[in-house]
Amino acid sequence: MEEKKIIFSGIQPTGVFTLGNYLGAVRNWGKLQEDYRSIFCVVDLHALTVRQVPKDLRHQTYQAYALLLACGIDPEKALVFVQSHVAGHAELSWILNNYTYFGELSRMTQFKDKSSKHEDNINAGLFDYPVLMAADILLYQTDLVPIGADQKQHLELARDIANRFNNAYSPTFVVPDGYFSKSGARVKSLQEPTKKMSKSDTNEKSYILLLDPPNVIRKKIRSAVTDSDAKVAYDPENKAGVSNLMEIYQAITGDSFEEIEGKFEGQGYGVFKDAVADVIIGELEPIQKRYEELMNDKKGLEAIMKEHAEMANRMAIRTLRKVKKKIGLVQV
């Protein structure tokens, strides 16, 4: 029997992924599926913690799912499903609530951030978000969780909950570790290159979306903030804007920073920016094409969703049965 480690990650269906999501995370997920038992989840229940327009959420869920496949996650190799299709997430989340303290959840920085951004809707789901995330992870006996720095605190909590449960009863959950890939690029905002590229940024020129058409990509790259010394050189501290563009170029072409510096020596930023736009456009073209094909066949997409939800459900039920038995719930 194969003994591949289990990797689990989730992404919210809250809009088209950015180039940052792609180069920093999703593209690498496609590579993990070769070496790990990979599970990727479109976490629609998490998206409910801030108010969503129902028809947009529905569209974005198909969209996120299609984008994952278009970015190289292969349903023959990885498990890809929608969170709400597997009832066990909500169920385990309720059980784990009883092993999570109010104080712990109050200390979550993302909760504090989000509650200050949505003061009119500080709901119980927002508070409980990390427990649902713990349930996602623990349900599949996950070994490794690829996450960005902003999710470290949530993963730490998932580990604490797992240990607490295991100690109170007997070993039940695998205690997951974070997976921090070396190859993931940290793409910054094109307008404020000290900040992370984010689709929630109010300035549209600060990010590139995976479905942006070529002319929009070129425009956004051309208007990216640089500096006045007109030299393509990697120096994230003093030349954050240019370094960010180099980072993107490097992530796509595989060229080293020295190679990039050599290639564009003596040339202005205009030439370099056009080259950056070209490689982005070239990278995204097949993804956009595949995305269109998938979205034009919703029935086909739904068939994959359904099959994968059933497979995920079978894994989830195994963990849930153990949990219920240990805590004294009657199962018939």
> Rounded to the nearest whole angstrom, what is the least distance from the CB of residue 233 to ligand TRP in the complex?
33
Active site residue 182: no
Is residue 147 within the footprint of ligand TRP (CB under 6 A)?
Answer: yes
What is the SS3 assignment for 75? Answer: coil
> Rounded to the nearest whole angstrom, what is the least distance from the CB of residue 313 to ligand TRP in the complex?
17
Please name the residues in contact with 17: beta carbons below 8 A apart, sequence gap of 6 or more: 11, 26, 64, 67, 71, 199, 209, 210
**Residue in 215, 283, 223 with CA at minimum distance from that of residue 248:** 283
Amino acid at 307: E
Rule CB under 6 A: choose which of 69, 79, 80, 137 binds ligand TRP. Answer: 137
Is residue 43 within the footprint of ligand TRP (CB under 6 A)?
Answer: yes
Q: State the residue number with the nearest CB to ligand TRP.
A: 10
Is residue 20 within the footprint of ligand TRP (CB under 6 A)?
Answer: no
Is residue 135 within the footprint of ligand TRP (CB under 6 A)?
Answer: no
Range 204-224 burial, b when 16+ CB lie within 10 A, else e:
ebbbbbbbbeeeebbebbeeb
Rule CB under 6 A: choose which of 10, 30, 88, 184 binds ligand TRP. Answer: 10
Rule CB under 6 A: choose which of 151, 189, 206, 319 binds ligand TRP. Answer: 151
Cα(156)–Cα(116) distance, integer angstroms: 23
- Tell me if 68 sits within 8 A of 56, measured CB to CB: no
Active site residue 196: yes
Q: Please report, as residue ranges, which positions from 207 to 226 form the binding site for ligand TRP (by CB under 6 A).
A: none
| Structure tokens belonging to residue 115 | 């509650």
Cα(151)–Cα(147) distance, integer angstroms: 6
Is residue 162 within the footprint of ligand TRP (CB under 6 A)?
Answer: no
The span of 144-152, 217-225, 232-240, 276-284 binding ligand TRP (CB under 6 A) equals 144-152
Active site residue 199: yes
The dihedral over CA atoms of 209, 214, 242, 271, expressed in degrees to the nearest 10, equals 180
Rule CB under 6 A: choose which of 69, 86, 145, 305 binds ligand TRP. Answer: 145
Sign of the dihedral through C-alpha 155, 156, 157, 158 = positive
Which residue is catalytic, options 5, 77, 114, 326? Answer: 114
Binding interface with ligand TRP (CB under 6 A): 8-10, 12, 43, 46, 133, 136-137, 145, 147, 151, 154
Q: Which residues are catalytic?
A: 114, 196, 199
